[in-house]
A and B are shown apart, each in its own frame.
Chain A
């Protein structure tokens, strides 16, 4: 299709490998509506077995289309699992970066369709390592989405314009300011590129990042990565709002993935906002927020509810009965999280939250190394996350129980519209 210059040494790059291969999906799992179904307690999974050799329907249930005006994985109903990776580009060679992005795009299109990377996991030459690492064989696509973003350091690093794109850096892609209380670990922050892999099966998400990292070796190296489970926000208002590790429903009032107007107003960069290559894209802020789980657990129920400004059981705002009742902000403590974060306290600004809980085992002191991996998409970070976080960092009662330990900012370009196009083409093409 594109890029005949892709070296044959590259798993996804050999000729003839772009041809659709049989789907690895032998069984269709849960439909895309699974989030709602599962939440409603209609837990029966209608698994329709198909013949292993039957061709996969183009956009069957369980598959999120890769191509489109916007990248999938933003307005897409939030999947259950996350593997997020930030990469450093290790070369100054723009052509090598472009070739890798082309290979990534082909591999991403294959994996999100439930197909194997390149020449597959088991059908290649016996003398060569398989192109695909194989752990997703037999698994459905699991609504896998892969979303790419470009960090500030891709445009300029240590004063160097490595790829000749310094002038194309969007003004909205700011270096995030220091917020009070930040305790950022450089090894868990930043990155020239990122890929967000979301899927309903963790193995599918991990497989995707692993294969992209492998394809990228020699061009990029993984700077840090984060696994997430238990989505903490929902972009499907009809579904039950998930709980975070503090036990509270979070992200009740989120941008709905089906609300075109809200998406246009708050999420997608529009023509005239910044450089044209970002039209239809979105800005992503990722924050690793560690929770002081043990101290939280020994705080009283009233303290916990005061911190959020909602009830723990129903999730109703103070002074209201149901979760989705319009909140009366004046009924909440002035420093409560919901009151401070609510659009009405922030001139109507909204961000699309898509975060996940994480637990990376325990730290050396026996404390759960856990928290929220916060992911937020917005049209312009300067007018969304930055003012919001300034406010929260200064006043939020929740700060006693959390600490921001990792931070990154990425410009996620618009979608790859059709086969042959590639991630970042409008920026680097």
Chain B
């Protein structure tokens, strides 16, 4: 079935954004994004450029979190594509990645140059221990936002056990657990909707 594209409301017209502006905006997000790109992206795209309303932006990110890949990278592709098609998507993601990649290489080269010093190795070992804790703590924060139910506990524990203890391949675990979890959630949503 062919869908007729919606005619845009002139009062709500799509902003015109060129390739140069996409490049400059995403390069800026990469530059000011120390300690997290997400706040920088929100600042540029919603507050400064007003390409997306706050509500549209939240919806875009909800969408990006269920498509494979990194949220912010996927968002840059979708935004670039919206304004300038495929070329816009490529421009946006490359501009976004450029600064972080250069800084990463400088950091890696600097580390390699000084890693023979035991002080540097000790400090890095401490940071590495903390980095592991950072991942665990972030998982803990995510638990707050999750619906507390026996089934979500079971799905979380089975995933953890299969990956961390049994060491099954990620692909295998996800191919089984993701469809099961979606089917269960659909079943529950339907049962809830069936009730008056």
The yes or no verdict on A and B being binding partners is no
Instruction: Show the binding face of B for A, using Cβ within 8 Å.
Output: none
